[in-house]
Amino acid sequence: MAKKRILMVLTSHDEMGVSGKPTGNWFDEVATPYYAFLKAGFDLTIASPKGGPAPIDPFTYEDPFRSDNTRRFLHDPSAGRALASTRRFKGIDVGDFDGAFFPGGYGQLWDLASDLSVVRAIEAWLQKGTPVAMVCHAPGILRDAKKPDGEPLVKGLNVTGFTDAEDEELDLARHLLFSLERALKLNGGNFKRSSRNWQPNVVEDGALITGQNPASAAPLADRLVARVAHELSLVTGQ
């Protein structure tokens, strides 16, 4: 039986609008899922809109955002090569994958949220029942996604993502292209937040699995592993 295949989709964007602040992918939201998928024995492909090197938000190299997995990643030549040589998203057959994972970071609001090929892939995956996991700011990519009848994809779905309150706590809300929380609510999503900022929160509705913040990356990755492994057990009968 062939290995299950996971696609991790990163942002290529490294600057926060006109503010000039550097941004990119949130490091632990890349590193922790990366090792969870490898441990599960999955075949992992990493892609980005431009392909090639994917930026890490320099802010996330610092305490308190470093983790055992980010430190491991920094000293792992294979991981470094994977981050430096991501596949160009448009060159990938998205039908080849059994699940997709979107780490967060602020860059996602600038490129992935307006990338039609990415949005259409998410629509196709969810319509097919392929699990899609998105954490932190990545659910903002759902802003323009539609159901087959043309309604917003998140309408009536339970979803979460980085909250306005968490953006305000980092003093970054005023620099953002749009508010993820407001966009999902305006599109009819049932936005579910944790009782306190920065607490893990994973919300599952059908094939869509969303996580609120960096603390949610590990349980979100574990949930995607469980979903994909469950599908494998149905195929093999084990």
pTM, rounded to two decimals: 0.95
Q: In 3D, which of 109, 97, 134 has the Cα closest to residue 49?
A: 109
Q: Which residues of the chain have pLDDT under 70?
A: 1, 232-238
- 10 Å CB burial of residue 194 (0-12, 13-18, 19+) is middle
CATH class of 5-236: alpha beta
pLDDT at 235: 42
d(CA 108, CA 146): 18
* Helix orientation angle between 27-39 and 217-236, rounded to the nearest 10 degrees: 30
pLDDT at 137: 96
pLDDT at 1: 59
Residue 66 has what DSSP assignment?
-
Q: How many helices (H) and strands (E) does the chain have?
A: 7, 11
